[in-house]
Amino acid sequence: AQKITQTQPGMFVQEKEAVTLDCTYDTSDPSYGLFWYKQPSSGEMIFLIYQGSYDQQNATEGRYSLNFQKARKSANLVISASQLGDSAMYFCAMREKGRKLIWGLGTSLAVNP
């Protein structure tokens, strides 16, 4: 069974608008971490934001925020004021016990001018 599910294979957003990328996860471990990474066409994997399972507040990093709904096991990424440079693949990943990350299949985001 998929531990990380990203249901949107592709998304479009107009420049300067906000967009939400969905991520749901499955774990029975009470201690876990959720990550979002961006992968532009150049191929590098860029860390964006992190949410720990015990964090009381939603994580924010500049234009990125994470809408963490623990009971629903969702960790959606919100990008505000989209820019053309935000066009990329976005991956949600989870770390349970141990250090390796388990990855979703990604969402391709296209920002239209």
Partner 1 sequence: GAGVSQSPSNKVTEKGKDVELRCDPISGHTALYWYRQSLGQGLEFLIYFQGNSAPDKSGLPSDRFSAERTGGSVSTLTIQRTQQEDSAVYLCASSLTERGGLDTQYFGPGTRLTVL
- Residue ranges in contact with partner 1 by CB under 8 A: 4, 33, 35, 37, 42-47, 50, 52, 91, 93, 95, 98-106
CB of 50 or CB of 64, closer to partner 1: 50
Q: What angle do CA 75, 62, 17 make, to 5 degrees?
A: 75
Minimum distance between the CB of residue 89 and partner 1, rounded to whole angstroms?
Answer: 9
Are β-strands 10-14 and 107-112 bridged in parallel, bridged antiparallel, or unpaired?
A: parallel
Residue type, 99: R
8 A C-beta contact, residue 8 and residue 21: yes
CB of 63 or CB of 103, closer to partner 1: 103
Minimum distance between the CB of residue 2 and partner 1, rounded to whole angstroms?
Answer: 10
CB of 19 or CB of 94, closer to partner 1: 94
